[in-house]
Every structure is written in structure tokens, then in C-alpha cells.
Chains A and B, each alone.
Chain A
Amino acid sequence: MRRSLLLLALPVLLLAGCDSLLDVEPPSQITSTIAIEDANGARNALRGAYSALQTGSYYGGDFIFFGDLLADNTTHTGTFTSFAQADNNTLLADNGSVEGIYQDLYFAISVTNHLLERVPGLTDLGETEKNQILGEAHFLRALHYHNLVKLWGPVPLITSTIESVETASQVTQSPVDEVYAQILSDLQEAERLMTNATQTKQASLGAVKALLARVYLYRGEWAQAQAKADEVLAMGYDLADDYAALFTPGAETPEAIFLLDFTIQDFNNFGYYFQTRREVRPTPDLFDAYEEIDARRAWSIEASSSGRLTGTKFPTTTGEEDFHVIRLGEVILIRAEALARQGQLAEAVDAYNRIRIRAGLTPHVLGEDVTTQQDVLAAIWNERRLELAFEGDRWPDLLRTGRATEVLGIRECQTLFPIPESELNVAPNMTQNPPC
């Protein structure tokens, strides 16, 4: 009897401490207020900012795929509708991949904004490391905004963390020039703050200068592009002897400026989509653009006996090879173009011949293989296409040089990504890029 009364008392006893029962502390998460409260938190969040580049929508997949798919390097052969639209240059505003890229870019920006707001106030960080962290955050934010502006044109410029849900919905686009001004100011700040010149899996001073060179090229500021490229070249980087080494897991090359550290757990989708899913394939047009003896074709494209092409540039289907965000090969081509644009054709040909020679091709001779400035530029652009194939550069490059409509036979209205429909729905001050 006593025992059964005890049983009756059980729930009453349990309820005695009831309110505390409702205070469950979640494991595996912390609040934003303590996320970046010390040096360790800052380092963790900085790595989080790099992890944000690795998502399947961003440098781990779609952002890179679309850079070739919208252009003439790859074609869609799988089941993804969003990829089919990209291949046909008919991106709709509800394209899931476009939504994903847009979202992941702003997510990555938000992590850098958190760092830039919180890290200056930390007291347990040495000045050098604090500046390096802030410099990397500035660099990454510039990289993200450049990626946005090259695909969408005018985009919202967000440089602080969310204040309130209500004010956030008032967001509106900033003109392209303002976005570029922010990019340049971030990069200049990064250049001022950063001291690390050697690391490659996080941003270094070399990465800042290389991105500056790229941004100046996009802005048509040739002298500055050349100057920054020269500064990078002076830092001791060198081309990899073997093109294949750039994409082989574990192989380190002197060409690496900034690459993303992919592992079997933290993987990219390239090998899987190209070789297993066969979601995309190289176009015959790209295959034919290479010379027979081009080492880059041998590495990047496999042609079966029936002529079926498979992209093999990224050799692991587990997606564990690192991915170059910017490497010396591109910087050399930036320099070549900047030179050519300024009429220094001989220097320009010399510059891009380094790339040709590495690919096992005969160097161009000015006056024979190329003569006019237009020839040289065309050769450089072709070299960019071949050198950076499947690295997401072709589409923005065609846009940058104003050749997209001519090369792809598309209309001007097809050159900008649509602002995602879902975004327009919640941000009424946003305007859609002009549809066709």
C-alpha cells in the first residue's frame, strides 16, 4: 500500500521542479552572442566563412557549373531542370540553382559581416592576427560581391548583420558602380591589414592582390590590373610544371594563390556530376577548341570511341580535390590582357605563351600567329577558355568582354541572372532584372 501511494506521488514529485524541465539546453549549438567572444571563436568563425564557400550551390558546385553551362563549354545531359534552363540560357526566376547561388552568396557575406563587427572588439587577439582575420573577412566579402555583381549586375549591398526582420525586408539594389566601390574598398582594406603572404587555403596578401587584378580587369582599369598582377608575380608564385597537378588531390603547386580545401567529407560535386551522374558534359565545341596535343585537353576531357565526352578535370568522384578560387595561371592571363589592352602586344604574347608552353603547345609568335591587338586579345580569351575550362570562368568572361550575345547567339536580356522570385516576394523594393 505504501508503495502504491509512492507511485501516486511520483508525478507530483516530478512536477515539483517543473519549470526547470522546460529549460532544455540545446547541445551542438551556441547563441550568436557567444559565438565570437574570444580569439578561438574568431578563428572558428573565420573558418566558417571559408566553409561557406564550399557549399553545393557555391564553389562546391552550381556556381562553378553555371559558369560553363550558360556558355559553350558544357552541355546538360542529366535530370536537373535548373541545369537545363542554364544550358538553354532561359533561366527563370524560380530556378532552384539560381536561388541557391544567390542565397549562399549572401549567407557567406553575412558570416564576414559578423566577423567584421565582432572581431575588432576582442581583447585576447594579438594585433597581427586580428588584422589578418579582418583582412581575410574583407577579402572574402569582396570576392562574394564580385561574384554577385558579375552574374546579377546591381545587387543589394549589405555590410552589417541583421538588425531586425522588419527593416531587412526594405532591402534594395545598389548600382553596379557602388558595388564595385565597396569591393575595391574591401580589397584595399584587406591589402592594408593582411600580413600573411604564404598561406593558400585561406586568403593571403597574394590572394588580395590577385583578386584586385581580376577586379581591375573587370573594370577595364588596365594599368592597375597589370600593376597588381605584377605585384603577385613578384611574390614568388610560379606555374605548376604539370597542369594535372593543379587538380590532383594532395598535390601542392607553387601556382596556388587561394584554393578551397575540399576533403572527402567536405566535398565538391564536380567529379560526381561530370563522371557519375553525368549531369553535364563537355561540348564538342570546347573539345575542338583545344589543339590535339594540348595537355589540358588530355587531362580535362575523355572522349570515348563513340565520341561521347566526359569531363575528367576533377578526378575524384568523392569531390576531395581542392578548388582554385584564383591561381597564378589566371593572373598571368590577366596581365597578358592588361598589356594587350594597353597596346603592349609583344609583352602580352610573351605573357600568355607561358601558359601555352606549360600546356605543351608551341608559343605564339607576334606577327605570325597573331598580329593585331584584336588577334592578341582573341588568343588570350581563347587561352582563358581552355586554361580555366570547367572552373566557372567562361560565362562571366564572355559577359565581361561583351561577347556573350555574339558567341552564344543569345539576346542581351539573357545575360543577367534573374533575381530569385522568392526574394522579390519578401523584398518588395527589389526590382527584377529586365526579362526578355
Chain B
Amino acid sequence: MKRHALLALLVSLLCWAPARAQQHTVSGTVTSAADGTPLPGVNVVLLGTSTGTATDARGDYTLALPSSDGVLVFSFLGYEEQSVEIEGRSEIDVVMDAATQLLDDVVVIGYGEETRRNLASATTSVSAAEIQNIPVAGVDAALQGKTSGVQVLQNSGTPGGGISVRIRGHASVDASNQPLYVIDGVPMVSEDVSQFGFGGQDITSVTNISPSDIASVDILKDAAATSIYGSRGANGVVMITTKRGRAGRSQITFDSYVGTQNVIKELDLLSGREYIEFMNEAALNDDSDDVDAFGNPDTMAVNTDWQNEVFRSAPIRSYNLALSGGDERTRYYLSGSHFDQQGVVIGSGYDRVNARANLDFNATDRLYLRTSLALSKEANQRIENDNTIRGVLTNAIANQPSVPVYNPDGTFTGTADGLAYPNGVAIGTLNHAEALTYRAVGNVTAEYRVLPGLRLNARAGTDVLNVREDEYRSPLVGGDYAESVGGISQSAYNLAVRYTAEGFATYGTKLAGVHDVSVTGGTSVEMNNSERNYIRAVNFGNDYFQYVGDGAEIEDWDGGFSENNLISFFSRGSYIYDSRYILTANIRADGSSRFGRENRFGVFPAVALAWQVAEEPFLSRYIGKGHVASDVKLRASYGLTGNQEIGNYTWRDAWTSTAYGGSPALWPSQLENPGLTWESTRQWDVGFDLALFGGRVSLVADYWDKHTSDLLYFRPLTVTTGFSGITSNIGEVDNKGVEFLLKTTNFRPARPGGFLWETSLNFSHYTNNVAELYEDEFIATGFRSVNRATEGYPLGSFFMLKFLGVDPATGNAFYDNFDGGGTCLAAGTATEAEDAVFCDQDDVQFVGSPHPDFTGGLTNTFAFGGFDLNVFVLFSYGNEIFNATRAFADDGGSSLDNKLASVLDRWQQPGDVTDIPRASLDGDSGAGAITSRYIEDGSFLRLKTVTLGYALPEAIAARARARSLRVYVSTQNLVTITNYSGLDPESNSNGSGSNVALGTEFYTFPQPRTFTVGLTLGL
């Protein structure tokens, strides 16, 4: 066997040798299938060589070749690539079809591939070109706005930070809502496994893949597509396929961009003097004797712009080198890349180094082996963020402008110098926190062709993820806990490992010329475990000693092991009659160690039907090639999927360890629920794929309806039991929506280098409704518990007092007396009115939803000559944001925090008509109550990306011995149109793990505006 392979390798190497002197000339004409006109500028290349030419103005070409065999490849933008065997011919004419990319793409589905034409389920694909060279760390961020049904929420601008990805709504209350990520066929670890919290923004395990290694991303949306992943399919599946080598001359691609990032806006806050005036007024309003409580504004010389002190212009750069090639037997794709992004807030950054080796080896005619191996190292420089009193940006916004950054001796100011919170500049400068992620993701697949049509596959994969974290908090940050204990250092280590082994067989055949049958069946085992430990020490000699071992005393530690296993059986059958009727059915049975013995196995079936209308003979007069509607496919599917993303031991009765006075102790921690099982989602979907005008317009549209029941829900119990709840299968959530993806070629060049204009528009709309929870109990969570999961409302709806205005007579805010009618005052409001009504809990009402009415993306691509221009607009409409920053920065003065400049319009004397309540140090104007006053319209339209590129003509590039060379300039977040008053409408202060606490912005790290220049060089 080995000898055969070697021989093959040798033979193929010999074939490369340019020793043959034979000459053969091929000529011909290339025409368009649509109208028969000749196509100029079509590339004609001998496969695996650089020998090639292009058609002339009459569509003719002539090409001298070294031999009379081989394959000619014809390619032209906007048309389907064609490969033609030469077979000794000297004249080859080619008719080219306009690309109906949407219909003929190969889509990666679970345990197999299928052409889009033969697919009956709702899946959507994003090509490599759409996600490359975007200056973001992860593929999840790059997918934002690129296709329909996928809501990518950039939680913050934190470099390398977690991203919320929601495919078709939000189903779960307590289990995860993130999709399953499958890379090259193997489910990857995608959760945040770091142990240190830094406020709301988490990190993610999805960032480790270099976007430039990705060949395509296919997103499985409906049950017919996702049920093959059974208990993990309910949130959708993101199938990532990495690049592989192709037979032919080896190709070297070098990609790089460098750029700079800057903040888009700063909050307009009070100056030092304005702050003193405001706070003096707040004190005076409460107590008329309290004059100049905060000092004389006239002598206030300090005016610190804290935001300016922590924001910076930050570089970003990316380098990627890839080498690919091979022959019929052995092919390779090797790459290495480096991505480095500093954050626009001091102290933050993200750096990644990747290497990948993807090898394909046809061992025999029947046995095909492939391996995918990726190694990466990521370094996240982390800073506390969002809801914290130790944040860099948080404290920069919160601290008073009347205190300088530095003392006269050059040291940082602290709370002892009058700051309300520790100095954000000091935190960003003196504290250090790094999360290092080392990762190896790889798999080996063997495919054996037993008989024609029958293939056996075996795959073994592993994902080894090691996160090592170190954090040092300096005692020089005045007012931080670290100051009082002489500095803190903590170190954590987590090794998470996943092993996957699967085997499946696929049989496909065509019977009697019209019955296409294919069946896949297999089994898989997945084992996950993680081992973690953590230690924290305090009291350090000085800032030169920052590692945990240098501390004088251990303050805290932790350590443990956790595992879960999954065994599965799956099958898919597909029957296509005469290319017209497509029936596919999936089923998967999963057994999970996460569930009680009584209910470990779940079965997840799905079925899909599609009708390829254009293939129908009796409609051929109206639809099909040559007609306006060249392709029409109607689809419908129905199926069941599950969610098992809860803790590993949640169903068990448990007592856990604790300690008393340094001695071991035990206490009860969990009630048993042996019947605990999957959360299940049934989904139906109807949709159509439409191609018009020879594929110049394509439209894929779907209506879907998801009903999730048996929620994995932490059902609250009376705490008199000693337990606050028990994880049960209770509750129902409905999501339904419509989505479409429209692609048009608005302008097609008549000749090479002519003007091309393509548009891609995607639109997604969903409604979310919590249909049932336990006994009318609602969940209130998020900052100040304003987000609710409650029956009859969307998940995470905002429930607050409803702000109605400011009383011109008193300057007090007044609110809607929901249960009693009329108005009411917030608790604690100072009033002389005898009949004053105070708001109570019954006045808390629905005041907004964090869910958008619709989201989408619009991409326009223009090409002319060697130039290309890509303009991508992202939009979200109808979602509300809880601007929690205002809970302190616009609270009327009840906190010492600096205030937004909008308070300059506050009520100051009877008769003032305004919607900003009067200032009050005691908070007795009702301004600081957490109410709908802080709810804002979060709709936005953002010019997300504009890229202008220029590709050198190939002839010129060739002179520099290059295959291709393209240079470009690009900008991110150039323009944002929004009514939202905070730093960034794309915010989620609770991170990607939050299911109910949605739509809150709370000192959130904003996304930067980025300018990059880059080049792509092909050799």
C-alpha cells in the first residue's frame, strides 16, 4: 500500500516536470448561454498550470499547450466556471451559463454535502470572500449582517470579546442560546471557559479560527437541516469549512492589512465647573442652608476629560500566509497567520497566532484520507468593563471632572483625593490581566468506497483547549480593594478537551434514470471533560512582583473536574424524483450524560419536501432556462430539535463541600430531578428559492415557526425548602419569523473590465413570546432586575415605571400610576402635596422590548477595470435599549458621578418646562429611579464596511512573477445613524451568555471606527 502511494507521488511529481516538448494548439469561441453572444475576456487556463489566455473581443481564443490532454478551465466573473477535457481536440467551443450561485453551490450539511439544488431544508451560506479581511477577531463577528435569519450581536467593541449569535430568535431561558459550531465536520468547543469575570464582556472560544482559513460557512436554520445534530440543533448550526489544497501548481497567497482604530464618539459630560455648579444646586435644593457644598465653581480650575484619558488610537494588523497545492493523490493547504488588535480603551487588546495544515490523500482509488489540524495561541488583554466599580471606561465616565488624573507628584489620584471610584487611568495602566488560550483542533477522516455509490466514513477528532489566565491588581490604584491588601494576583488554568469519534455510511444511486436515492447512517461518540484550578494571593512587595507566587498570603483557591458524554445514532434519507420532487428525512437519537437516568435518550426527527418547479415539464413553457423565472423551488419542512446546554450534573441530588474555620464541611446544594431531559423545539418552515433573468436575480425566502417546550428551566421553589429552585422541564417559548436573501446583478459587463454592480440584501424579522412559565412566576434579571421573562411578552422585555414627565411646579419626575390611573411619584420623592400618590410595584409595567422588529444587511459590490468597491450597510430597527449608564450619569445628583451634559436642561425653577427633573443630592426628585426615562430607541443604520480595491491586471502581475495582486483600503463603522444617545447602539452589557438580560448598555466598550490598508498577493 505504502509503496503504491509513494509510486503515485513520484509519478505525479514527474508529470510536473516541464520535459515534454510536444506542442498542441487549441482554439475556440466562448459564448453566453443566455443570448448566444460571444463573451470577451473569459479566462482560459490549463488546469494545474499557469498556461492560459483570455478570449478576445469576438470571444475567440487560441492557446498553445504542451500536450493534447489535460483540462481547460473557463472562468468569467458572473458565470459558472467550466472545466473541459481536451481529449486531443484542437477546437473547443464553450457555452457559459450565468452563475446561479445560490442554486448550485455545494452546501455542507451534517455528515455530508449536497448541492443547493437538491436541498430541501433552509440553509444559508456565506462565502470566504464575504468574511475575509474584515478587521475583527472572529468568524462570528465577520458573519454579522451577511445573511438572513442570523442575528449577530456585537456585544461590545472589546477586542476578541464574546459575540451573541442567535439563529432564528431566542428560545431558551436558562440553557444556552448560542448555535452549535461545527468545524470540518467536528463540533467544536465554543463556550467561554475562562474563570475570571471582568464585568459583562466575556471571551469566546470561537475566535481561534483565522477567518482567512475559512472556505465557506453554511448555516443550518430549519429543523430539517439541524435535526441531524439532534439535541444540539435547536439554536441552529454553523458549519465552518476550512480551505483545502487543490490539484495543480502550488499557490502561495499572502494577505495583510494594517490599520488604525479610533472611538466614534465620546459622551458629552459636564465640565469640572458645570459639575460643581450642578452638585451645588443638588445640595441646595435639598437644604437651602447648604450653599456651595461642593466648593466654589468660580475657583474650579480642574476640568478632566476622563474619556480622552482612557481612549486611544489603536493599531490593528493582520498577516496571513497560505500555501496550497498538490496533485490527484496528495493535496495540502498550509497556512500561518497573525492577528493583532489593540483596544481603543487603554489596557485592552487581542493577539492571535494560527497555524493550519489540511492534508488530503487518496491512498488508493477507494480509500481517501484527510486531516485538518489547527493550532492557535490567543492572548486577550482584559480590562474590567460594564457593570463594575473597577472599570477603565466605566470609571472614566463615572468619575468627577473636578479631580485631576495625577497628583502634583505624578502619582495617580484615587478615592482619597476625592474621586468617587478608583482612577480609571490608573486601572488601565497599572493593572494587567491576560488570558492565554492555547488550542489544537484537529480531525482525521477516512473515506472508503466499498462499491460504486457506497462510502464508509470514519472520523476521529479532538479539540484541546487550554486557557491560562493571570491577573494583577496593583495596590497603587487608590481606593481599590487591592490597595487595602497590598495588591492581588490570581492565576487560573482550565484544560477543556473534547474527543469525537464517528462512523457513517452513505449510499447513493440513481434508479431507472429518475429515482435519486441516497441514505446516510451512522453513529458518533463525544466525550468532553475539563479540569480547572485557580489560586489567588494578596500582599505583594511592590509592583515588580506580579505573579501569584510572589504574594505573601493565599486568599482564595478553587479546582475541580467536570465531564459529559454524548452518544448518538443518526440517519438521513433523501429521495429525488426526476430532479423535480425532493424528499429528505433526518433522524437522530442522542444519549446524554447530562440528563437523569430515566430520560437520557432523545429522538429528533425531521422531514423536508421540495418541489423543483422549473423542472416540471408541464410548466416548461413558463418557467425554466430561457424564461424570466429560470429556477423556482418551493420548500417545506418540519422537525424536532433539542437543547442540552446546561451544567453537567444538574439533575443530581447533591451535597457539596464548604469549609468552616479551615475545617472541611458539607452542605446541601441541589435537589434531584431524575426525569430531567431535553428542551425541545419543533419548527416548521416554508420557503422558496427563486432565480430570475438567467440568475441575475435570486431570492431565497422563508417563513418559520419555532415552538420550544419543556424548557430547561430553573423552576423557583419556596426557599423555605432550603433550595431556591430545581432545574425542570417547564415552560414554552415561541419564535416565528420571516427572512429573505435577495441577490441581484444590477449591471453586468458586456466586455472584460466593464462595469459590474451586484447587490445582496438580507432581511430578518422575528417575534418572540414567552408562552408559558411556571405558575405565572416571572424572572426578573439584568441590571436592577428590569429584564423579565414573563408570560405573554418577549424574552427580556423591560419592565419599569413609565416616565411621563417633569412637574413644572416642583421639578419632580412623575410616572404612570399603572394600576390606579393618573400619575404617581417615585418612592422617596419629596413633596408637600397631601394627596401625593407614590408608585409601587404594581405600577411597574412593560415599557419596551430589546428585540428588533427587523435586522439585516445590504451589500453593494461594484467593479470596473481592476477596481472593486464594496459597501456594506448593517441595520436594526425597532429594538429598545436600556441606557443604564444614565442611571448614574443622569440621576439628578444622587450619586457623585459626573453627569451628562443633557442635565444642563434640567428643571431649575417653578415654571420650567423640561423632561430633566430637578437636581437633588438625596435623590428626592424621582430622577434616579430606574424607569422608562432610560429606555431609548436602539434602531440604527451603520455603514459597516466600505472597501475600495484595485487588482493589478494579471499580465502586469505576471511580469512581477505574481499570480495576482490586489491592494485595498477599507473602513469599518464609518457612519452610524441612530437616535441612541449612548456610545454605541450595538451593545449588550451582559455578554453572550445572557438570555433574559438583553439590550442593556452600561458603560459598554464601544466599537471603534477602523481604517485599514491591505494587499492580497498570489504567487
A47 to B667, CA, bound (A): 9
Instruction: Say yes or no for A1: interface residue by CB 8 A criterion.
Output: yes
Map CB proximity to A onto B711-733 as digits: 1 under 8 Å, 0 otherwise.
00000111111111010000000
Measured between beta carbons, the chain A residues less than 8 angstroms from B105 are none
Q: Which A residue sits closest to B418, measured CB to CB?
A: A306
Map CB proximity to A onto B566-593 as digits: 1 under 8 Å, 0 otherwise.
0100000000000000000000000111
A316 to B778, CA, bound (A): 40
Instruction: Say yes or no for A195: interface residue by CB 8 A criterion.
Output: no
Instruction: Say yes or no for B87: interface residue by CB 8 A criterion.
Output: no
Measured between beta carbons, the chain A residues less than 8 angstroms from B777 are 422, 425-426
Our count of residue pairs bridging A and B at CB distance below 8 angstroms stands at: 249
Assess the B895–A79 pair: CB atoms within 8 A. Answer: yes
Assess the B724–A103 pair: CB atoms within 8 A. Answer: yes
Assess the B479–A276 pair: CB atoms within 8 A. Answer: yes
Given contacts A81-B784, A162-B722, A264-B555, contact A10 B503 (CB under 8 A): yes
Instruction: Say yes or no for A27: interface residue by CB 8 A criterion.
Output: yes
Map CB proximity to B onto A378-421 as digits: 1 under 8 Å, 0 otherwise.
00000000000000000000000000000000000000000011
Stretch of A88-96, A213-221, A231-239 lying at the B interface: A88-96
Map CB proximity to B onto A121-153 as digits: 1 under 8 Å, 0 otherwise.
000000000000000000000000000000000
Q: Which A residue sits closest to B485, measured CB to CB?
A: A318
Map CB proximity to A onto B859-899 as digits: 1 under 8 Å, 0 otherwise.
00000000000000000000000000000100000010000
Assess the A29–B716 pair: CB atoms within 8 A. Answer: no
Give, as a whole number of angstroms, the nearest-CB distance from A100 to chain B: 10
Q: Which of A7, A31, A35, A165 contacts B458 (CB 8 A)?
A: A7
Stretch of A107-115, A247-255, A284-292, A348-356 lying at the B interface: A107-115
Assess the B564–A24 pair: CB atoms within 8 A. Answer: yes
Map CB proximity to A onto B825-836 as digits: 1 under 8 Å, 0 otherwise.
001100000000
Q: Which A residue sits closest to B658, measured CB to CB?
A: A51
Assess the A4–B363 pair: CB atoms within 8 A. Answer: yes
A21 to B529, CA, bound (A): 12
Measured between beta carbons, the chain A residues less than 8 angstroms from B292 are none
Q: Which of A29, A90, A169 contacts B669 (CB 8 A)?
A: A29
Assess the A165–B726 pair: CB atoms within 8 A. Answer: yes
Give, as a whole number of angstroms, the nearest-CB distance from B674 to chain A: 11
Among A14, A110, A435, find the residue whose CB has the most chain B CB atoms closer than 10 A.
A14
Given contacts A31-B653, A47-B660, A90-B827, contact A110 B722 (CB under 8 A): yes
Assess the B369–A4 pair: CB atoms within 8 A. Answer: yes
A420 to B720, CA, bound (A): 12
Q: Which of B523, B555, B660, B667 contacts A12 (CB 8 A)?
A: B523
A45 to B655, CA, bound (A): 10
A261 to B671, CA, bound (A): 28
Measured between beta carbons, the chain A residues less than 8 angstroms from B561 are 27-28
A90 to B826, CA, bound (A): 11
Q: Which of A18, A27, A48, A263 contacts B665 (CB 8 A)?
A: A48
Measured between beta carbons, the chain A residues less than 8 angstroms from B481 are 272, 276-277, 317
Instruction: Say yes or no for B1017: interface residue by CB 8 A criterion.
Output: no
A275 to B416, CA, bound (A): 11
A7 to B155, CA, bound (A): 43
Give, as a whole number of angstroms, the nearest-CB distance from B675 to chain A: 12
Instruction: Say yes or no for A367: interface residue by CB 8 A criterion.
Output: no
Assess the A162–B723 pair: CB atoms within 8 A. Answer: yes
Give, as a whole number of angstroms, the nearest-CB distance from A51 to chain B: 4
Assess the B841–A24 pair: CB atoms within 8 A. Answer: no
Give, as a whole number of angstroms, the nearest-CB distance from B405 to chain A: 21
Assess the A88–B717 pair: CB atoms within 8 A. Answer: no
Assess the B726–A22 pair: CB atoms within 8 A. Answer: no
Given contacts A15-B567, A29-B649, A165-B717, contact A51 B665 (CB under 8 A): yes
Q: Which of B460, B652, B659, B828 contacts A10 (CB 8 A)?
A: B460
Assess the B667–A48 pair: CB atoms within 8 A. Answer: yes
A168 to B720, CA, bound (A): 8
Give, as a whole number of angstroms, the nearest-CB distance from B232 to chain A: 16
Assess the A45–B666 pair: CB atoms within 8 A. Answer: yes
Measured between beta carbons, the chain B residues less than 8 angstroms from A161 are 722
Measured between beta carbons, the chain B residues less than 8 angstroms from A261 are 660-662
Measured between beta carbons, the chain B residues less than 8 angstroms from A54 are 660
Measured between beta carbons, the chain B residues less than 8 angstroms from A21 are 525, 527, 565, 567, 593
Map CB proximity to B onto A235-274 as digits: 1 under 8 Å, 0 otherwise.
0000000000000000000000000010111100001100
Number of residues of chain B lying within 8 A (CB) of chain A? 93
Assess the B655–A22 pair: CB atoms within 8 A. Answer: no
A81 to B786, CA, bound (A): 13
Assess the A8–B503 pair: CB atoms within 8 A. Answer: yes
Number of residues of chain A lying within 8 A (CB) of chain B? 85
Given contacts A22-B592, A110-B721, contact A162 B671 (CB under 8 A): yes
Within 8 A of A (CB), among B170-209: none
Measured between beta carbons, the chain A residues less than 8 angstroms from B655 are 29-32, 35, 45
Instruction: Say yes or no for B53: interface residue by CB 8 A criterion.
Output: no
Measured between beta carbons, the chain A residues less than 8 angstroms from B669 are 29
Measured between beta carbons, the chain A residues less than 8 angstroms from B721 are 106, 110, 158, 162, 165, 168
Map CB proximity to A onto B466-482 as digits: 1 under 8 Å, 0 otherwise.
00000000000001110
Instruction: Say yes or no for A278: interface residue by CB 8 A criterion.
Output: yes
Q: Which A residue sits closest to B726, measured CB to CB?
A: A165
Q: Which of B456, B557, B668 contacts A35 (CB 8 A)?
A: B668
A201 to B567, CA, bound (A): 50
A264 to B375, CA, bound (A): 40
Assess the A51–B659 pair: CB atoms within 8 A. Answer: yes
Measured between beta carbons, the chain A residues less than 8 angstroms from B840 are 435
A111 to B722, CA, bound (A): 8
Assess the A171–B538 pair: CB atoms within 8 A. Answer: no
Within 8 A of B (CB), among A1-48: 1, 4-5, 7-12, 14-15, 18-19, 21-24, 26-33, 35, 41, 44-48
Q: Which of A48, A90, A169 contacts B828 (CB 8 A)?
A: A90
Given contacts A4-B446, A30-B655, A426-B716, contact A18 B567 (CB under 8 A): yes
A101 to B884, CA, bound (A): 26
Assess the A276–B484 pair: CB atoms within 8 A. Answer: yes
Assess the A27–B562 pair: CB atoms within 8 A. Answer: yes
Assess the B717–A1 pair: CB atoms within 8 A. Answer: no
Given contacts A11-B525, A22-B600, A109-B722, contact A31 B593 (CB under 8 A): no
Give, as a whole number of angstroms, the nearest-CB distance from A129 to chain B: 15
Instruction: Say yes or no for A427: interface residue by CB 8 A criterion.
Output: yes
Given contacts A10-B460, A18-B591, A22-B600, contact A263 B717 (CB under 8 A): no
Q: Which B residue sits closest to A304, measured CB to CB?
A: B416
Q: Which B residue sits closest to A88, measured CB to CB?
A: B828
Given contacts A318-B538, A422-B716, contact A50 B600 (CB under 8 A): no
A24 to B592, CA, bound (A): 10
Instruction: Say yes or no for A52: interface residue by CB 8 A criterion.
Output: yes
Instruction: Say yes or no for B264: interface residue by CB 8 A criterion.
Output: no
Measured between beta carbons, the chain A residues less than 8 angstroms from B668 are 32, 35, 110-111, 114
Instruction: Say yes or no for A156: interface residue by CB 8 A criterion.
Output: yes
Assess the A426–B775 pair: CB atoms within 8 A. Answer: yes
Among A15, A84, A102, A109, find the residue whose CB has the most chain B CB atoms closer than 10 A.
A15
Enumerate 12 A-B pairs (CB-CB under 8 Å) in ascending A order.
Answer: A11-B503, A11-B525, A12-B523, A15-B567, A28-B656, A50-B660, A90-B827, A92-B841, A169-B717, A265-B556, A266-B662, A317-B484
5 tightest A-B CB contacts, nearest first: A110-B722, A261-B661, A47-B665, A48-B667, A317-B484
Query: B-side interface residues toward A, CB under 8 Å?
Result: 1, 363-364, 367, 369, 389, 415, 444, 446, 448, 456, 458, 460, 479-481, 483-485, 501-503, 522-525, 527, 538, 553-557, 560-565, 567, 591-593, 600, 648-649, 652-672, 716-724, 726, 774-778, 780, 784-785, 827-828, 840-841, 888, 895, 923, 930
